[in-house]
Amino acid sequence: MKRFATALLVLLLIAAGQSLAGTKWQFVKTFVPPGIKTGGNGWHGIAVAKDGRVWATPYGATDSVYDAVNHRTVAVHCLYIFSASGTLVDTIKVLKVGATYDTLTNNTRGLGSDYQGNILYSAFDLLYSINSATKAEIHKIQPQVGGYQTQAATDSLGEVFSGLVLDGTGPLRIYDNTWTYSGNVWDTSRGYSRCVAVNGTGNDVYFAGYTNNAIFHFHSDNGSIGPYVVADTILKGFACESMAWNPKTHYLWASAGNDANPVNAYPGVTTNWQKQTWYAYNTVTKKVVDSLKWTNVPGGHELTNDGARPRGIAFSPGGDTAYVACFNVDSAGVEMFANVVTSIEPVNNVVPSSYALSQNFPNPFNPSTEIQFTIAKAGFTTLRVFDILGRNVATLVNENVNPGTFRVKFDGTNLASGTYIYTLTSGSARITKKFMLMK
């Protein structure tokens, strides 16, 4: 009987969507080094190359070069290259094209990586592919004169899919792997957009028109040959401005929106998406299966502007590290997350009437301790650890949690001895306590 009751509790918790053990996205750090400014515009693209290095670019001009032909100094929109851990490796102001150069003077519209791990770069009405090893230009096209380009995408054949930012201004075009125009997914853009995604076969195209508050799924039985038809409208309530595939899980990750382009605004549908949050969508089961949220904690990268727009996401080649970027903020608009093994253990199945955060045990501790907390209402919940300077040193919970009482372990092996603060935030509740690590 006891065994049956335990099994029933596990099934109930799983049915309610509460994970007992698995992995979660843990904030690692602010990714962009101090001193890199964006001119107040924030970041407009992020991508990971095949060597694991991270390419990122702001929207606005951040530097200048001297134009020897016209004898003047021109503003440039730099491409920054970082190591996987966040060290600045290179700054690109011009792209080498054989024996000549292209100066990057156009506003950035998006970054992505192609099927070979090279970089796709959208800049105003131009679209480039860049060799991620040599940093030389491979291809350059101008799909539509004066047509703002979205972030582009490729399938496993190297076919390129490129849309337009402005509503009604033109088609979502397809180019073959030689970058020769081969057709359209549709003939007229549908809503203002920043990004497009395509699966490996080219059969399924996902168009994120953020003014539609949803993502359109187009399907073609014949791949890029077409014709494409609207197969579904997914993630209703999303004002999505960034998408990327996780190479490990093959989930499609998409950003939900912000205050400037509100979440949960699809007509006739009630949703509870969180702003400045990226969600993982399983295109097979058609369900949301994971999420990560901008940390917005003290330490130089908090988004004091609720209009900060989640406009970039990219994953390491192995899929266990995520890099996210926001527009409408200055320098510190990129964060790094790691997918780590975790366990939130339920203490009981009693639905509580209030929120609570217990004192950890043991305390003081070395090197690990246990924290128990209670959630009264289902919602996005964080449990974070800060040092006495207010810097986030660990994120123990960062996900949707159902009502109940839970415990989680904290390991301070990599931290120095001292007093730390741990804070539970869920709904309108915010509870803080202190503990001491003694080595």
Res. 118: pLDDT tops 60: yes
Domains of the chain and CATH, by start: 25-339 (2.130.10.10), 343-437 (2.60.40.1930)
- Structure confidence by residue, pLDDT tens digits, 394-403: 888 877 788 9
Cα–Cα dist 267/421, whole Å: 42
Res. 307: pLDDT tops 90: no
What size, in residues, is the chain?
A: 439
All residues at 6 or more sequence positions from 111 whose CB lies less than 8 Å from its CB, including other chains: 44, 45, 46, 47, 55, 56, 57, 119, 120, 121, 122, 151, 312, 314
Question: Binning pLDDT at 50, 70 and 90, where does residue 100 land?
Answer: confident
The secondary structure of residue 192, as a DSSP letter, is: -
Cis peptide before 346 (omega within 30 of 0): no
Give 206-238 as a DSSP string.
Answer: EEEEGGGTEEEEEE-TTGGGS--EEEEEESTT-
Residues 386-408: what's their mean pLDDT? 86
Compute φ and ψ for 15, nearest 5 degrees.
-60, -30
Helix and strand tally (H, E) in the chain?
1, 36
- 310-319 burial, b at 16+ Cβ within 10 Å, e below that, comes to bbbbbbbbee
Count of CB atoms within 10 A of residue 348's CB? 11
- Structure confidence by residue, pLDDT tens digits, 55-89: 999 888 889 998 877 789 999 999 999 999 889 99
240 neighbors 210 (Cβ within 8 angstroms) = yes
Res. 313: pLDDT tops 80: yes
Q: Tell me how far CA of residue 198 lies from CA of 112, 202, 319, in angstroms.
A: 12, 6, 18
Joined tokens for residue 136: 């030389």
Cis peptide before 367 (omega within 30 of 0): yes
139: three-class secondary structure by DSSP? strand
Cα–Cα dist 24/320, whole Å: 10
Q: Tell me how far CA of residue 93 lies from CA of 38, 240, 423, in angstroms.
A: 14, 29, 43
279 neighbors 254 (Cβ within 8 angstroms) = yes
- Structure confidence by residue, pLDDT tens digits, 4-36: 333 333 333 333 334 444 567 888 888 877 677
The whole-number pLDDT of residue 304 equals 58
Task: List the single range of 237-246, 275-284, 299-308, 322-331 with lowest mean pLDDT.
Answer: 299-308
Name the average pLDDT for the chain.
87
The whole-number pLDDT of residue 1 equals 39
Cα atoms in the 13 Å half-sphere on the side-chain side of 298: 9
The whole-number pLDDT of residue 438 equals 95
Residues 395-417: what's their mean pLDDT? 86
Cα–Cα dist 66/211, whole Å: 39
- Please report, rounded to a whole number, the percentage of residues in the chain having pLDDT higher than 90: 61
164 neighbors 141 (Cβ within 8 angstroms) = no
Q: Between 104 and 38, whose confidence is greater?
A: 104
Residues 29-47: what's their mean pLDDT? 80
Q: Between 87 and 301, whose confidence is greater?
A: 87
Q: Between 315 and 25, whose confidence is greater?
A: 315
Burial (CB count within 10 angstroms: exposed 0-12, middle 13-18, buried 19+), residue 274: middle
Cα–Cα dist 382/368, whole Å: 19
Cα–Cα dist 424/133, whole Å: 44
Q: Tell me how far CA of residue 115 lies from CA of 83, 181, 223, 372, in angstroms.
A: 21, 18, 16, 45
- Please report, rounded to a whole number, the percentage of residues in the chain having pLDDT higher than 70: 90
Question: Binning pLDDT at 50, 70 and 90, where does residue 244 land?
Answer: very high
Q: Between 285 and 40, whose confidence is greater?
A: 285
Compute φ and ψ for 419, nearest 5 degrees.
-90, 135
Cα atoms in the 13 Å half-sphere on the side-chain side of 307: 7
The residue behind tokens 């730390």 is 420
Res. 131: pLDDT tops 90: yes
pTM comes to 0.78
All residues at 6 or more sequence positions from 37 whose CB lies less than 8 Å from its CB, including other chains: 62, 330, 331
The whole-number pLDDT of residue 8 equals 36
The whole-number pLDDT of residue 15 equals 34
Q: What share of the chain is helix, strand, coil (3-state, %, to 5)?
A: 5, 50, 45
Joined tokens for residue 247: 């190479």
Residues 302-317: what's their mean pLDDT? 81
Question: Binning pLDDT at 50, 70 and 90, where does residue 110 land?
Answer: very high
